[in-house]
Structures are given as structure tokens and as C-alpha cells.
A and B are shown apart, each in its own frame.
Chain A
Amino acid sequence: MTTTYEPNKVLSNKEFKVVGTRPVRPDGADKVTGRAQYGADLQLTGLLYGKTLRSPHAHANIKSIDFKKALALEGVKAVVSAKDFPETKDTANYGLGDSPMNYFRGNILADKKVLYKGQAIAAVAASSVHVAEAALSLIDVKYEVLDAVLTAPEGMAKDAPILHDDLFTKEFEKQTKVNSNIAEHFQHKMGDIDEGFAGADVIVERTFDTATVHQGYIEPHNVTALWNDDDRIHVWTSTQGAFTVRAAVSEALAVPVSKIKVTPMEIGGGFGGKINVYEDPAAALLSKKAGHKPVKMVMTRAEVFEGTGPTPGSHMTVKMGATNEGKIVAAQANLAMEAGAYPGSPVGAGAMCVFTAYDIANVTIDGYDVVVNKPKTAAYRAPGAPNAAFAAEQVIDEIAEKLNIDPLELRLQNAAKEGTRRADGPIHPRIGCVEVLEAMKEHHHYQSPLTPAKNGGKVGRGVGIGFWFNIGMQSACNISVNNDGTVNLVEGSTDIGGSRASIAMHAAEVLGISYEDVKPQVADTDSVGYTAITGGSRTTFATGWAAYEAANDVKAQLIDRAATIWGVDPDSVEMEEGVLRSKTDTELNMSFKDLSAQLNDTGGPIVGRGAVDPSGIGGSFCGQIVDVEVDPETGKTDILRFTVVQDAGKAIHPSYVEGQMQGGSVQGIGWALNEEYYYSEDGRMNNPTFLDYRMPTSLDLPMIDTVIVEVANPGHPYGVRGVGEANIVSPQAAVANAIKSAVGARMEKMPMNPAAIMEQLWS
């Protein structure tokens, strides 16, 4: 069978010379030949291997730890536990806000109490990984096992076992004296919710539950640390933020950042999950105790599932009301999300996004951050927003159904625009919500009849739209001019999916040189200015902007230099498309290449710098159209056709933007249909392997058609909006709406696996 696809489209807003083209990435050759150095590939002289001892219990007091037998094993060089942390201050901040030091350190090496199965308790360094593993089994830990709390509703129950005796609920931004598992309850309010519902002709209210899921990057966490004889620490790791690792190691070990150098290795996926720091401080401590030998630690897949990530399970009630004409007049959400073992679920972000695609006068959103006996949640692509959209986008769908209005038409009627106030406060700047919805409506997919069933099942179509606000934060970049008319670009954002290319393209555009003449490099923390995480869809936006600034700095210096050589006023010289020329004397012109060859004889090298902390962040909207086939006998769902439409502001490298849209959407499909942490009653994950934690394979999917909409972000020189995250927000809801349209089951639980669908069909 041959399938024909709509070619991927870019609805461009403006043409540039380099920006908007699709060159090959600069790290490409290394990555297709096996030469690229990922964290686990590092070899150092005298290298030792570390392994972590992890809790077998979801909730327990640690009564004692005895290392005697482990230390007696031949080849064991050092052991560490929480007792090896030095005295320090009470709070930790590694660039993402304050947290209590005991919580921050507790998630690195637990002290006195373990709060999830898989939590690190101790670590061993040995001559080989096999010896280190053998040593773990010789460590004797005595536990007092406690009852586990596994979901937000369980954690919020009055008689729930309490995880932390020092955690007191923050209620409406005020600290109370109530010791509970609810770390925080907040509320966003706009208009009058009761009045809003009183004016509604149709009201839909539903309660939704979603399971814990993992980011699922293929590369396990890894770190190699050397605590050198001069007390300087060098850390090599796969991370989304080298400076974040530096700060975290500094905070955990009470060592100044100036004594720590972090070299970011190539990173094998992160999706938010490689922002948090896990074994790095323990590896450094082991290195010191083992006599200043480098120690390498690489997690197993089970350790990744049980000890890192995930994104939270959630319990949510959403109620919306609309008039018969299709005006949504009131919306209410109660969002409770699992923080995992320590406070900090993404419920705040979920609340920022739940109704953000719509202009609704009366809104109330309550959010609850609840600690439970699961791994501490980490960011995962638009964290919190997919959970919220799973609820809200299904309720909207049901309203459209009740009012007999086309679901995209209902969304368009109520779409947020520039000037619409969000319930959490901000007023939307120029956004592309309407443009995305219109592109969906006009798309061949939406205009076509339902895709025919492949296996005789029932077919249905669903849509959804999601929002992610994106972040700015700090980035730095240096550009130095080579004497052959090329430039070297040094930046601090670890490249997780082609950002070296998109950042280099900013510089090439400014200088009017070809993309191939810019050689980008991701530097270690000693070699570039502070650069925040590769996360929040900020890298192309902010680090690209830093490259833009650095290139403009180079350009200004080139103009000065040309003016000096020509003996004219710099104000009379301009540089366009890689050529310097006098504005008044046509005889005076020189290519960038010719000038670069003369630099060393005319005053020395030229180095430009860019350092930014941009505001003007542009949020991104993204919508999906999906056709599914559901087998009504078994509940198995197949994706027949899938289209994703996203506002990129300006796609610097359209292929890599499409890659983000396709990748985020497919993670959403996996989340929708299969993925979950399957827990035993006592809090053990029963499926910590890729066999049983089932992520989508190539066979599970059709092509993922894309449309890039470009509604320029006025806050960025080329109009860029971050594109890494909005694409995962609504695929789950779109799939749910498609299942509803296929078999009539409104899915209140995720994953929507065969069992969940059959349960709903039979209920």
C-alpha cells in the first residue's frame, strides 16, 4: 500500500538569507560515524566506576547503614552516604529558585528517610562496574518500612501517612502551620465564576486521572567526576545545563563555583529530565574519598525509571459553561499534581496553560502541589500543561458536541488574541492562536473524509490545541574572526536537537556570510559566560539572540576597522551581505573575507560578545488533528493519520522545527495510549524496562505531517518563538477526542490503553 502525504508546509512571514534554510548540522558527521562523545563514552586515566545503592522501599526510615563488608571487597575504593555532605546553609539554589537544602540533598543521597523506591542512599567506587555492583549487595541497610502514598488524592486524604514532618502547607501564598502532604494550594481568579455559570446554557464537568510517565530519553544519566589533588572539581556529564550542574554541585558540596568546571558532553535526549542533578555530587565525593581518582557513574535503565524524571500523575476536575451561541462564559479547574517525594510539581505551569487558548471572562483555577512516594518529578516538555489540556480540551470537545458546533469553529469563536487576559495575570502579547486554528481548519487533513479503517475497526477524528509560555533567561556567546573570512562561535547551550545550527544561523544572517562559515562550539563552564538550561524552549530564542548580539558586536568592530584602514569616519561605513563599503565613496569597498585577512596587521584580532537575559518571550500555540481506528472488541487504538500545526514565530531551521513538532507529538501519542508507571500497592514500579514501559516504535505510527505557522514574535530580532514544548500539550486530548468520536467513550483516564477503553465502553 502506498500512502500519499501532504508535503510539510511553512507559512512564512518573512524571507531571510540564511534564516529559514535547512543546512546540515555542524556536529552531523560525528553523530553518524559514532565519533560524537556522549557522557558514557569518556575514558580517563585511572578511572574508577561508581554505582548507587537505592531504596527497595517506597517509604521507610533508615535505621542504620553498615558498609563493613562492602569495603572489604577487593577492588572497592570508597563509599559515600549523606553523612559525607559537609555542613552548609539551609537552602539551595542552583539557578531555578530556592529549595530547602535537606530536600535538595535528600534527592542526591537520602538521610534518615527514603521517600520512593529507587531513591539513592549510598554510592560505591570500585575498580570495575561489576565489582561496584557486587559491593552494593554487601551494604547492609536496616529499614523501618512505612505505608506509602501513591497518588495526589491519597496524599491529600486527612489520614494520609505524612512524608515530611517539616512540610507545612502554603495556602494562597501564605505559610500555614498545617503539616501535610499538600505543599501548596494556590488559586487564580478572574471575573465571577458563579455569575459565569449562571449565564451558561450548557455546562460540562468531568474529573480526569492521568498516570505518571517518564521522559524516556534513550541515553541513561551519566557523570564522570574528578576531585583533583588541588581541590578543583571537574565534572563531565550529559546535561541540559552545564552551569546548572556547576551550581548544583557547588550547593550540595559547599564548594565555590570557581572551583568547579563542568564539561557538557553530547547529550542523548533530555526533554527536561536532564536539568535535575542526580549522581554528580556523589561522584565527586567518591573521587575525593578514593584518593582523587576520576569516578564514572552510568545509570541502568531501571535506575533511570525509578530514580529520575518523571512527570506527574494528576487528578483534575474541569468544568466549563457556554451559551447556545458557542460563547464560553465560565471555566473552572481543580488541578492536583503529584510532586513526587519533594515539593515542586509542575501544577503551577499547568494552571498557567489550562485555559490559555481561550478568551473567557470568568475563570477560577485551583492548584495543589502534593508530595507522594514516587520519584521527585522533573520537567518534561511543557511540564504540567499536557495533563491540564487532557482535561480542558476534552471538556471543550464535549461542549462542541452538545452545541453541535464544529470543534475547531468553537475554538476559533473563543480563541485568545493579542490583549486577552490570562487567568494567571498576564495579557497576551501578539500570539498565533487564531492563525494555528485557521491553518488546522484549512488543512487537507481536516477537509478530507475520515481515513478508512485498516483492520475493520471504528474510525474517529479528534482535534486539540495547546499553549506553552516559553522562557527567556541568560545566555552568552563569543564570536572570533578567523583570517580566512570565517568565524568561530562559542556558546553555552548544550545542543539537544540541532541548536548549534540554529544559533550559528543567527550569526551568519547578521554578518551576511554563509552558514558554513560559522563554526559553532558548545563550551565548558570555564570558557563561556553563564548560560541557563537548554529548556523552556529558550535555546534558539535566547542563545540565538546572544549570537545575534555577538555578531552585531563583530560587525561594529569590522566597520571601525575598515574605517581605520580607509582613514574615514566609521559612521560613513556600512556592512551589508558580507561586504563593507563607504556610504559616500563607491571606490571604498572590501569583502568581509578580505578584511579578515588584514586584521592581524591592522590592530589585531576581532572578538565579539553577546550576553542577554531577554524579555519579549513569545509563547507558542500548537494544535493536532488525528484520525484513529479503535478495535471495539479489544480497545486497541491505531493512529491512522496525524497532522500538527505550530506557531514558530520564525522557523530558523524549518527541518529542526518540524522535528520538534513531530517528536513532541509522538511523545504525546505514547503518553496517550501506552505509557505509565505501573505501580504495585506498596509503591514499586512493576515495569522499569522499555519492554514493559512501552514507548512508540516506528511501526506504531504514520508519518507526522506538519504545518509551521509564522506569527512573528515582536520580542525577538527574527521573530522567534520557542518550539520545543507546545507540541506535546494537546496530542493526548486530540487522541482522546478521536477515540470518543470513534467508539463513543469519553476517556477520563490516561493512558487510554485497551483496558481503559474497554472499561469505559462497558461502564
Chain B
Amino acid sequence: MPATKVHVTTTINGEPVEFLAEPRQSLLEVLRDVVQLTGSKEGCNDGNCGACTVNMDGRIVDSCLVLGVEAEGADIQTVEGIASADGLHPIQQAFLENAALQCGICTPGFLVSSKALLEKEPNPSEERIRMWLAGNLCRCTGYDKIVKAVMAAAKEMAS
């Protein structure tokens, strides 16, 4: 028997959104398959890779570990909400200019995490960045250029 769906009212990237979710569906599944926001990626589905990282009420969470129904009343920001009408956010621009992505599958999670860090701490040290991003796996870059991109974005945002 298909499960009964639950009606959820939430905010995603500043827009009011309503959707129907099965109680067993993760927020990631809802974002990707129900709301059609496929920017958040599934790499492991058990909270270890960070490719599905979204910002939920000011906290970064692995959306694969949150249920869709928990989004009720929440304020969610995904990678799709980082750029504005004025163009790319400095963190996005810094990732491009510093060659901080190769395949790009982990990039949405890194961008959401990095942006949250810079909003809390505008001038983080290298060690702080490495600690903050330790929940996001990247297999291509060895992290060097990602860490440098976050440092470059911090500098750009301060100027």
C-alpha cells in the first residue's frame, strides 16, 4: 500500500513552497524528485559525503538525513539560491577563478557549507576552513584549491 502523503508548507530559497511528501522520503529526495531542485546531490545517502548539504534555518544539514516532512515551516537554502539577480555570489566566483572544482558533483555542498561559514566568520583561518569543510568530501581536488577559494572569497567579501 502506498503511504499517505503529508502536506508540507515551507520556504525554499526565499520562495514559499508547498509539496506532498511520503513520511519516509528524505528532504533530499523531496528536493530532487518532488520540487525538482536537482542541484543538491546524492553521494552516499547516509550523511557522510556532504554533497546534499543545504542550509536549514541557519544551520547546514545533510538533506539526506532530514525527512521531507521536517521542512514544515522551515527556511531552506539550496545551491540554487546562492546566486542573485546581480549574478554569481563571491563564493561561486571564487570557486571558478581558483579552479576549486573538477567534476563538480561535490561543489553544491561545498558552496552551501562555505557560504554559511563566511556568514558566521568573515575571516576564517586555513585551519578553521579545513575543520568547517571536513563534512564535505571531494575526491578530485585534494581540497587545496577549495580552501584557497574560500580564503579568496573571504577577502573579496571583506573589500
8 Å CB contact of A33 from B44, B45, B82? B82
Name the residue of chain A whose CB is nearest to the CB of B133. A698
Name the residue of chain B whose CB is nearest to the CB of A695. B137
Query: A457-484: contact bitstring with B at CB < 8 Å (1 yes, 0 no)?
Result: 0000000000000000000000000000
Inter-chain contacts of B143 with A (CB < 8 A): 666, 696-698, 701
Name the residue of chain B whose CB is nearest to the CB of A654. B99
Query: B80-112: contact bitstring with A at CB < 8 Å (1 yes, 0 no)?
Result: 101100001000100111110111111110010
- The answer to whether A703 and B144 have CB atoms under 8 Å apart is yes
- The answer to whether A689 and B48 have CB atoms under 8 Å apart is yes
List B46-95 residues whose CB lies under 8 Å from chain A.
Answer: 46, 48-49, 51, 78-80, 82-83, 88, 92, 95
Interface residue A655 (Cβ < 8 Å from any Cβ of B):
yes
Inter-chain contacts of A220 with B (CB < 8 A): 42-43
Q: How many residues of A contact B (CB 8 A)?
A: 59
Please indicate which of the listed interface residues B24, B106, B134, B144 has the most CB atoms of chain A within 10 Å of its own CB: B144
8 Å CB contact of A698 from B83, B96, B130, B139? B130
Given contacts A497-B140, A662-B141, A690-B46, are A698 and B147 in contact (CB under 8 A)? yes
List A199-243 residues whose CB lies under 8 Å from chain B.
Answer: 215-220
- The answer to whether A496 and B125 have CB atoms under 8 Å apart is no
Inter-chain contacts of B125 with A (CB < 8 A): 1-2
8 Å CB contact of A656 from B49, B99, B126, B146? B99
Question: Nearest chain A CB to B28's CB is how many angstroms away?
Answer: 11
Inter-chain contacts of A658 with B (CB < 8 A): 99, 145
Query: B14-38: contact bitstring with A at CB < 8 Å (1 yes, 0 no)?
Result: 0000000010100000001000111
Inter-chain contacts of A698 with B (CB < 8 A): 129-130, 133-134, 136, 138, 143, 146-147
Please, how many angstroms separate the alpha-carbon atoms of A218 and B42 in the complex?
8
- The answer to whether B49 and A218 have CB atoms under 8 Å apart is yes
Inter-chain contacts of A27 with B (CB < 8 A): 104
8 Å CB contact of A24 from B97, B129, B141? B97
- The answer to whether A699 and B99 have CB atoms under 8 Å apart is no
- The answer to whether B141 and A268 have CB atoms under 8 Å apart is no
- The answer to whether B139 and A695 have CB atoms under 8 Å apart is yes
Interface residue A266 (Cβ < 8 Å from any Cβ of B):
yes
- The answer to whether A301 and B44 have CB atoms under 8 Å apart is yes
Give how many A-B residue pairs fall within 8 Å (CB-CB): 182
Band of interface residues on B: 35 or more
Name the residue of chain B whose CB is nearest to the CB of A1. B127
- The answer to whether B146 and A663 have CB atoms under 8 Å apart is no
Inter-chain contacts of B147 with A (CB < 8 A): 698, 703
- The answer to whether B39 and A218 have CB atoms under 8 Å apart is no
Name the residue of chain B whose CB is nearest to the CB of A669. B142
- The answer to whether A699 and B142 have CB atoms under 8 Å apart is no
Query: A634-668: contact bitstring with B at CB < 8 Å (1 yes, 0 no)?
Result: 00000000000000000000011011001101110
Please, how many angstroms separate the alpha-carbon atoms of A3 and B141 in the complex?
20
Interface of B is mostly: loop
Please, how many angstroms separate the alpha-carbon atoms of A222 and B43 in the complex?
11
Interface residue A36 (Cβ < 8 Å from any Cβ of B):
yes
Please, how many angstroms separate the alpha-carbon atoms of A410 and B157 in the complex?
49
Inter-chain contacts of A25 with B (CB < 8 A): 96, 99
Name the residue of chain A whose CB is nearest to the CB of B82. A33
Name the residue of chain A whose CB is nearest to the CB of B97. A24
Inter-chain contacts of A666 with B (CB < 8 A): 141-143
Given contacts A43-B36, A301-B43, A698-B147, are A218 and B99 in contact (CB under 8 A)? no
- The answer to whether B46 and A28 have CB atoms under 8 Å apart is no
- The answer to whether B140 and A659 have CB atoms under 8 Å apart is yes
Name the residue of chain B whose CB is nearest to the CB of A270. B103
Question: Nearest chain B CB to A623's CB is how many angstroms away?
Answer: 16
Query: B114-157: contact bitstring with A at CB < 8 Å (1 yes, 0 no)?
Result: 00000000000111011101111111111111111000000000
Please, how many angstroms separate the alpha-carbon atoms of A269 and B107 in the complex?
12
Please indicate which of the listed interface residues A37, A218, A298 has the most CB atoms of chain B within 10 Å of its own CB: A218
- The answer to whether B43 and A219 have CB atoms under 8 Å apart is yes
Question: Nearest chain A CB to B19's CB is how many angstroms away?
Answer: 16
- The answer to whether B137 and A218 have CB atoms under 8 Å apart is yes
Interface residue A300 (Cβ < 8 Å from any Cβ of B):
yes
- The answer to whether A659 and B141 have CB atoms under 8 Å apart is yes
- The answer to whether B102 and A498 have CB atoms under 8 Å apart is yes
List A660-683 residues whose CB lies under 8 Å from chain B.
Answer: 662-663, 665-667
Interface residue A17 (Cβ < 8 Å from any Cβ of B):
no
- The answer to whether A3 and B80 have CB atoms under 8 Å apart is no
Given contacts A271-B139, A697-B134, are A34 and B37 in contact (CB under 8 A)? yes
- The answer to whether B105 and A269 have CB atoms under 8 Å apart is yes
Given contacts A24-B96, A32-B95, A219-B103, are A691 and B46 in contact (CB under 8 A)? yes
Inter-chain contacts of A71 with B (CB < 8 A): none
Inter-chain contacts of B37 with A (CB < 8 A): 34
Inter-chain contacts of B48 with A (CB < 8 A): 689-691
Name the residue of chain A whose CB is nearest to the CB of B46. A689
Question: Nearest chain B CB to A154's CB is how many angstroms away?
Answer: 30
Name the residue of chain A whose CB is nearest to the CB of B135. A697
Inter-chain contacts of B97 with A (CB < 8 A): 24
Inter-chain contacts of A34 with B (CB < 8 A): 37-40, 78-80, 108
Q: Which residues of A contact B (CB under 8 A)?
A: 1-3, 22, 24-25, 27-29, 31-38, 40-41, 43, 130, 215-220, 266-271, 298, 300-301, 496-498, 655-656, 658-659, 662-663, 665-667, 689-691, 695-699, 701, 703-704
**Can you show 20 pairs from A to B with CB atoms below 8 A apart?**
A3-B126, A22-B99, A24-B97, A32-B88, A33-B82, A34-B80, A37-B38, A38-B105, A40-B32, A41-B38, A217-B103, A220-B42, A220-B43, A268-B105, A269-B102, A655-B145, A666-B143, A698-B130, A698-B138, A701-B143
Which 3 A-B pairs have CB atoms at the shortest separation, nearest pair first?
A34-B39, A268-B105, A666-B142
Q: A25-B96, A32-B82, A662-B142 are in contact. List 13 more A-B contacts (CB 8 A).
A: A33-B39, A34-B80, A34-B108, A216-B139, A218-B139, A497-B103, A497-B140, A659-B99, A663-B102, A689-B46, A690-B44, A701-B142, A704-B142
